[in-house]
Structure 1
Amino acid sequence: MAYATQAFDLALKLRDSSRIIRGGRIKSAELRRLEHIDDAIVMALYILRIARRHKDTTEIKSLLNSLGTSHILRGEYDQALRYQFESLVIREKGGNKKEISIILNNIGVCYYKLNDIPSSIKYFKRCLELKRESNDKYGLDRLLINIGLCVNEMGNYAEAIKYITEGLNSCDGKCTDQIILEGEIALGDTFYDAKLFSESLKHLKISYQIAKRIDNFRFQVENILYFARIHLIKKDFEMAIRYLNEAENISLQKGYKFLLIDTYEVFSKLFNEIKDYKSASLYLSKYIAYKDSVFNEKVTSNLAQLHADFEERENLKTIAEKNQMLSLREELIQKQKIQLALMAAIALLLTIVAIMLYKIYRDKLLINIKLDQKVKERTEELRENNRSLTTAYELQQSKILKVEKESLIILSSVSGLCHAARLELTDGRAKEYIQKVANNIDQLSPLFKKTKEGE
């Protein structure tokens, strides 16, 4: 506390707004820890005004949460919920699931104190869901214990013990004294409601010893009240009165209105039990007065208005989310329509391309068939021409051979005549001509013979 005060005073001297806000928040938290609740609220409100002026959202969230917790301790649940809901709205805008879960837990605690168990468990379950989504283990132990307390109020003691034990086990043997204290008193409360008073006392004593060791006066009083109730059931009125007096003294000193309500209620029951109706009436009037101060018409109206406002905001948020979903769905439908149209267009184009390709293929096939036919026709024509040429050639050759044969016969006849003429002629000149003719015939004969041999 001394360091927090020094840091805050230094920030004031330096006129450093960010340090003033941070230092003031820390000092307010320390005041609340030391259970100087009124001073903690005054400090937090002063710093909250500065933080709002500088629009320091991070510090505003923390200060609102701090104020909500302080007002819970004072039993001012309408104020507590107002600050917690405002903090929740800011944190939901930020979207940080871990931060949102902290506020949901605190709102659940507030509704638990108001004995609105359905609302309390609703916020605790929302908190648990967010923690599991974000794999957030911070505060899981306390949350499970709180859910156990709600389940206990609904009369399901076995399930309540299961939740509380799970909360204590979630620390893996490293629970803080505060968590062990809260878990043990929760078990004591559950066994008390189940009328297992010996088992209840065992856990309550562990919780009370830790509360004494760490100077947690609120939980000291809560344990003491259970001691008083159990001794009242056992008809040990002297011990019950002693515990109730101790609870009243601490509660008056610390300003625990909600604990004074419980204290005076037990006092009234005790004096009715011992037939001291005057004292019973006195404490009943105190009980009514304190309960009216905490749960008066104004507070009830504020709570109803806060609940209605927040529910309206939740409904509007739900409507907005549904509208957004509808808008997204409509957008998705439009996109799907466009996709279907594109797919249909692509399918149509592919069909057209396929038809064109088939047509081109068919045309090529027909052309190839026609070309093959023409090639075959041309080949046949060429073959026919070749056969005609061959026949003409052979005929020509036959004629040539015939002429050659006839020429050879004529040449042979002429050659024989020349030979006979040379024998018969006496004229030298005539012989000479005949000889030249014979020579020419001799020269021609080999040519015809060669042609014949070549054939």
Structure 2
Amino acid sequence: MQHNITWVVKVSFIPFRRWMALLFVLLLNAIHLSGFSQSSIDILKDEAESDDFEVKSGALMELFIAYRLLDLDSALNYAEKSQELSLQTGDSLMIVRTEIAIGYVYQEKGFYQLAIDHFKNALDIAQRNHFKDREKFVLNNLGLTHYYYGKYDEALQYHFQSLALREEENNQIEIAISCNNIGLVYYQIKDYNKAIEYFKKSLEIKKSLKDESKIEGTLINLGLCFSALNNYDEAVNNFTRVLKLCERNGCEDRIRVDALNGAGLAYYSLDNPQEAEVYLLKSMKIASNGGLQSHVVNNTHYLARIKKEKGHVKEALEMLNECQALAEEIDSRVWINKNYRLYGEIYALLKEFEKAYEYQTKYDSLSGLILNEEVIQNLANIQINYQEKENLETISLQKSEISRRTTLLILSMIIIFLAVVILVILYRNNQHRKKVNRKLYEANETIEKQNLELTNMNTVLEERVKERTQELNASNDALLKSNTELDNFIYKTSHDIRGPLATLQGVCNVALIDIEDKKSIDYFNKLSKTAERLNEILSKLLVINQINNSLISEEQIDFDGMIADIIGEQQNPETLKVISVEKEIQSGLQFRGDHDLLRIILTNLISNAFKFYNTSGRVESFISIKVFSNDLLHIQVIDNGIGIDENVSYKIFEIFSKASDMSDTAGLGLYLVKLAVEKLRGEIALSKAEDGFTQFEVTLPFH
């Protein structure tokens, strides 16, 4: 991005100590140091209290220049004091300078309408007093501010006016700045080839002047265009080149912010969200410290997008809310509109389709206001007017010469012709007016008829909505009653069956003591195991009822002790293979929750890992259990067992669903886990770990 504000300092009658202070301040300002010599600043502050107008006004503007890159609030304070002084004395040039200074601060802070107001005041005074040098810079800043504000047709118009003045002076570096800023506008309206044309023109001028210290902004803008044209590798090359130039030569915070932001967006487009997030966070940190509000909005928006794509939808929504609040504060229509679109995507993921539709409608509406057909046409007209300026002047001279030679003949013919034309136009207008009035009358009748039909349709629709609402309420009541009856049935049936089942197991145990026949013993053993399995199924059915009807309690959870007990329960003497178990509990973890539900979750996940171990002798079986927290509690159970077929992974959390026949299970374990997790308002996910092992991850909120 190019900024083009120059401060005119009067040099007559300035004491030697002021020259030393000014030289020191400008030197530090040029190399972007974070502090100034206190003695030099004190000199300027003393002179700012002087009774001499020349001394006081010069000191105030010098203090503004000293602070404008480091402390915008202090810079604004000195600019406003200088403005009060200039208004008291009626110094037009000083008024223009102070208006530009105040507008610059508001532009940097992101308050674009305030900046535009001050720049327009400066432009009016500069044009009235023929301050050409001031006029071209004010036009440039008006173009930049309208660009930030999303008013691209007005931005382009001001930039071309500034370019015309600079071409009259043949100031090459300033022509390069205007070309760069014009390219930015074309970039925003997605005319990337036109934007690249102006950026390269700017770059060629700067290279011809052998001034590489001023090419960073143009390189950033070329990088943005290459990103838009999907040439992301070339874009990254441009941004990293800028960052290297900044390390070598130093540059403004805005340049670093733009380069880091551009690199982050390029990596984001290259499907490398981790690298993108690193660059965007660095960019946002510098922008926040420097008070660059619009850049903070930019970085926050794309960080929210990355959160959304990583699946952290709630975190993305919180970050987007912060972004939208700041965008509305600085009244940035472009970012407000982009945020509307992201809101729609996030609420669609959250299945809040009504909100998603609402924000999509807002996005479509504001998009039409920002870049409608009228704006596009204005942009085209402005470009055509500028490119054909010299041709129009030549044609105008030729027409003037012809006009001088044929004035008398043409004048008489024109008068006759105009008289005939006026009569024809009046007649046709009269006929046309009658036709229009007749059509308007017919149109009004049609509109009234359609309004009546719409009213009737709305009444019918309201009745249908009421009927559907009543049906839905009835269905919900029936479903609730059905669920309650099902819970009662499971509970009563499980208790009723357990008595006979216990009797059956007792008979089997007695028979195994008394019977010596091997075949009979084998039958009773199988019968006993079947009874045990049925007892296990009944127990899990009772757990389902317990989960559905229990009240959540809160107590401090000892994950280390709980996991140790569960592992001890799962040791199977019949398993010939040794299974190593690793557990990693975050040190000092404090979590309060329902002890029974958490034990159900951990027991079933760890039990599955033991049951479905890899029987191969060439594989060292292991189970890894991790418990840690960031904003949420995370429980991970990873094993290198037989794995889960991807074709059935989508239904493993359903009741009575089994992913493998290796273990004689009922298909209730993972269903119980899902019920318990949902009861605790958490989420469970099946995925592949880094080495391709099976990983179950449970995330739970802190209460």
Instruction: Bin the TM-score by the shorter chain.
Output: 0.5 to 0.7
Higher deviation after alignment, 78-87 or 37-46: 37-46
* Alignment pair present for 1:79 and 2:146: no
Amino acid at match of 2:309: I
The 8 Å contact of residues 143 and 154 in structure 2, kept in 1 or not, is answered as yes
Contact 2:328 2:336 survives alignment (8 Å): yes
The equivalent position to 2:218 in structure 1, one of 132, 138, 143, is 143
Q: Indicate the structure (1 or 2) with the bigger Cα radius of gyration.
A: 1
Matched, 1:104 2:171: no
Q: Please report how far the alpha carbon of residue 70 of structure 1 lies from its aligned counterpart in structure 2 after TM superposition.
A: 1.0
1:157 maps to 232
Q: 1:240 to 1:314 in 2, by over 3 A?
A: farther
Q: How does the TM-score come out when normalised to structure 1?
A: 0.67
Q: Deviations over 1:62-83 (max 9, x none)?
A: 1001111111111111111110
Q: 1:315 to 1:220 in 2, by over 3 A?
A: farther
Contact kept, 8 Å, 1:28 with 1:40, in 2: the verdict is yes
The one-letter code sitting in structure 2 at the alignment partner of 1:2 is: N
Q: Is 2:246 the partner of 1:204?
A: no
Where does residue 562 of structure 2 map in the other structure? Answer: none
Query: Alpha-carbon deviations, 1:315-342, whole Å to 9, x = none?
Result: 769999xxxxxxxxxxxxxxxxxxxxxx
Partner of 2:344: 268
1:290 counterpart (366, 371, 388): 366
2:207 alignment counterpart? 132
Report the Cα distance in structure 2 between the residues aligned to 1:314 and 1:118, rounded to whole angstroms: 24
Aligned to 2:84: 9
Rounded Cα–Cα distance in structure 2 between residues aligned with 1:264 and 1:184:
25
Give the corresponding residue for 2:356. Answer: 280
Tell me the residue number matched to 2:130.
Answer: 55
Pair 1:251 & 2:251 matched: no
1:140 Cα shift?
A: 1.0
Determine if contact 1:168/1:175 at 8 Å carries over to the other structure.
no
The one-character-per-residue Cα deviations of 1:388-441 (angstroms, maximum 9, x if unpaired) are xxxxxxxxxxxxxxxxxxxxxxxxxxxxxxxxxxxxxxxxxxxxxxxxxxxxxx
Moved more, 82-91 or 41-50: 41-50
Structure 1 partner of 2:656: none
Contact 2:287 2:295 survives alignment (8 Å): yes
The 2-side partners of 1:175 and 1:47 are apart by 28
Q: Does 1:123 align with 2:181?
A: no
CA shift in 2, pair 1:288/1:174, >3 Å: same
Asked if the contact 2:213/2:249 (under 8 Å) is kept, the reply is no
1:5–1:35 Cα change, 3 Å: same
Q: TM-score normalized by structure 2? A: 0.44
Corresponding residue for residue 299 of structure 1: 375
Q: Is the 8 A contact 1:268 1:279 kept in 2?
A: yes
Per-residue deviation, residues 341-395 of structure 1 (Å, max 9, x unmatched): xxxxxxxxxxxxxxxxxxxxxxxxxxxxxxxxxxxxxxxxxxxxxxxxxxxxxxx
What's the counterpart of residue 8 of structure 2? Answer: none
Whole-angstrom distance in 2 between the partners of 1:244 and 1:68: 29
RMSD (Å) for aligned C-alpha atoms: 2.0
The structure-2 alpha-carbon separation of the partners of 1:116 and 1:314, relative to structure 1 and needing over 3 Å to count, comes to: farther
The question of whether the paired residues in 1 share the 8 Å contact of 2:199 and 2:221 is answered with yes
As a proportion of its length, which structure holds more strand? 2
The correspondence of residues 433-448 of structure 1 with structure 2, limited to 5 A, is none
2:411 corresponds to: none
For each residue in 1:32-83, what CA deviation from the matched residue of structure 2 results, as whole angstroms up to 9, or x when unmatched? 2233321211111112111111111100001001111111111111111110
Q: Please show how residues 331-350 of structure 1 align to structure 2 within 5 Å.
A: none
- Give the unaligned 5+ runs of structure 2: 1-75, 397-703
Between the two proteins, the alignment pairs up a number of residues equal to 320
Moved more, 203-212 or 304-313: 304-313
Query: CA–CA distance in 2 between the matches of 1:138 and 1:289?
Result: 42
Aligned mates of 2:379, 2:294 — CA distance in 1 = 24
8 A contact 1:268–1:283 mirrored in 2: yes
Q: CA–CA distance in 2 between the matches of 1:173 and 1:187?
A: 20
Matches within 5 A, 1:27-42: 27-42=102-117
Alignment pair present for 1:94 and 2:174: no
The letter for the 2-side match of 1:76 is K
Structure 1 pair 227–313 and aligned structure 2 pair: CA distance change class (3 A): same
Q: State the Cα distance separating 1:154 from its structure 2 match.
A: 1.2
Output one character per residue of 1:100-154: Cα deviation in whole Å (capped at 9) or x when no partner: 1111111111121222211111111110011011123343111111111111111
Correspondence 1:312-327 to 2 at 5 A: 312-313=388-389
One-letter amino acid matched to 1:233: E
Q: Structure 1 87/138 Cα, relative in aligned 2: closer, same or farther at 3 Å? A: farther
Asked whether the equivalents of residues 231 and 237 of structure 1 are also in contact (C-alpha less than 8 Å), the reply is yes
* Alignment correspondent of 2:263: 187
SS at match of 1:158: helix
Distance 1:4 1:36 in 2: 16
Could you tell me which residue of structure 2 aligns to residue 237 of structure 1? 313
CA 1:25–1:177 in 2, change beyond 3 Å: closer, same or farther? closer
Measured in 1, the distance between the counterparts of 2:383 and 2:297 equals 30
Q: Are the aligned partners of 2:167 and 2:175 in contact in 1 as well (CA < 8 Å)?
A: yes
Deviations 1:195-236 (A, max 9, x none): 111111111111111112112111111111111111221222
**Cα distance in 1 for residues equivalent to 2:393 and 2:170:** 14
Counterpart position of 1:44: 119
The aligned counterpart of 1:175 is: 251
Partners of 1:104 and 1:124 within 8 A in 2: yes
2:102 counterpart letter in structure 1: K
User: Paired residue for 1:365?
Assistant: none
The structure-2 alpha-carbon separation of the partners of 1:312 and 1:72, relative to structure 1 and needing over 3 Å to count, comes to: same
The answer (yes or no) to whether the contact 1:140–1:170 under 8 Å persists in 2 is no
> Residue 212 of structure 2 aligns to a residue in which SS?
coil
Larger helix fraction of residues:
1
Measure how far apart 1:173 and its partner are.
5.0
Q: Which residue of 2 aligns with 1:18?
A: 93
Q: In structure 1, what is the Cα distance between the partners aligned to 2:373 and 2:199?
A: 27
**Deviation readout 1:161-181 (Å, 9 max, x if unpaired):** 111111222231523322221
Partner of 2:301 in structure 1? 225
Distance verdict in 2 for CA 1:276–1:66, change over 3 Å: same
Measure, in 2, the Cα distance between the counterparts of 1:288 and 1:228: 21
Distance of aligned partners of 1:196 and 1:93 in 2 relative to their CA distance in 1, 3 Å threshold: same
2:145–2:155: 8 Å Cα contact kept in structure 1?
yes
Q: Which runs of 5+ in 1 are unaligned?
A: 321-455
Please give the alpha-carbon distance, in whole angstroms, between the structure 2 residues aligned to 1:306 and 1:262. 27
Distance 1:309 1:213 in 2: 42
If asked which structure has higher relative contact order (CA below 8 Å, sep 6+), I would say 1
| TM-superposed deviation, 1:314 | 7.1
Q: Give the letter aligned to residue 313 of structure 1.
A: K
2: CA distance, partners of 1:319 / 1:202: 57
